[in-house]
């Protein structure tokens, strides 16, 4: 079963490669790379940059200074829950 699957994949690869005068394999690899790149930019890189910018802006605009007492209360609350 595995041997036949490897044979089919090999046949497809050879038939669509430059060995047989086709550039389908190269086009397919370019399309795959392009799709992965678009996915990364759309769903990871750009949202992370936006989140980072928002957090940086929030911290820069924040004028609240956390005192030691407030920090201890927060830490104690986290230990209890």
Q: The pTM is what? A: 0.55
Distances (CA, A) of 33 to 12, 37, 58: 20, 6, 36
pLDDT at 13 over 80: yes
Confidence of residue 59 (pLDDT cuts 50, 70, 90): confident
Whether residue 13 contacts residue 25, with contact meaning beta carbons closer than 8 Å, is answered with: yes
């Amino acid at each position: 079963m595995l041997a036949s699957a490897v044979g089919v994949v090999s046949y497809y690869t050879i038939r669509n490669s430059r060995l047989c005068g086709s550039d389908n394999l190269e086009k397919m690899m370019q399309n795959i790379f392009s799709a992965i790149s678009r996915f990364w930019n759309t769903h990871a890189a750009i949202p992370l940059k936006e989140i980072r910018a928002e957090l940086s802006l929030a911290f820069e605009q924040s004028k609240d200074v956390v005192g030691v007492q407030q920090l201890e209360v927060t830490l104690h609350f986290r230990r209890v829950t």
